[in-house]
Amino acid sequence: MRVYIAGALSSKEDRTRDPSKVVIDYLSNVSKMCKVASQVRKLGHFPFVPALDLLLGVINGDWDEEDYRGVGMAFLEVCDAVLVISQSWGVAKEIERANELGIPVYYRMEDLP
């Protein structure tokens, strides 16, 4: 099963915080998502971590928030399930889209079929 890993990366409050702390928090959140993805893979599923498109943005150097969100949503639309590991305004949009498409949303890894 293709599982989209949904989790907070940053928050709207980040725009007023020290940029170095924002980067550290972002990378910590990406790490958490990757650890969950690794566990999902060990269960026999195929995880997608939308945060990893960060590398494409670094290579291109000209991506904006909509570029990242567009790539993530395109993958969400072909996943079989969404696993939510933390909440944010972006995750709320992902859950909303999954619900629109009839894609099951799970909040605990043990609930994945």
DSSP 64-110: -HHHHHHHHHHHHTT-SEEEE-S--HHHHHHHHHHHHHT--EESSGG
Q: Write out the two tokens for 99.
A: 């619900």
**Residue 12: its pLDDT value, please?**
54
Question: What digits encode the pLDDT tens for the residues 71-99?
Answer: 889 999 999 999 999 998 889 999 999 99
- Residues whose CB is less than 8 angstroms from the CB of residue 72 and which lie 6 or more positions away in sequence, other chains included: 50, 53, 94
**Residue 57: its pLDDT value, please?**
73
Residues written for the chain: 113
Question: What digits encode the pLDDT tens for the residues 24-60?
Answer: 888 889 999 999 999 999 999 999 999 887 777 777 7
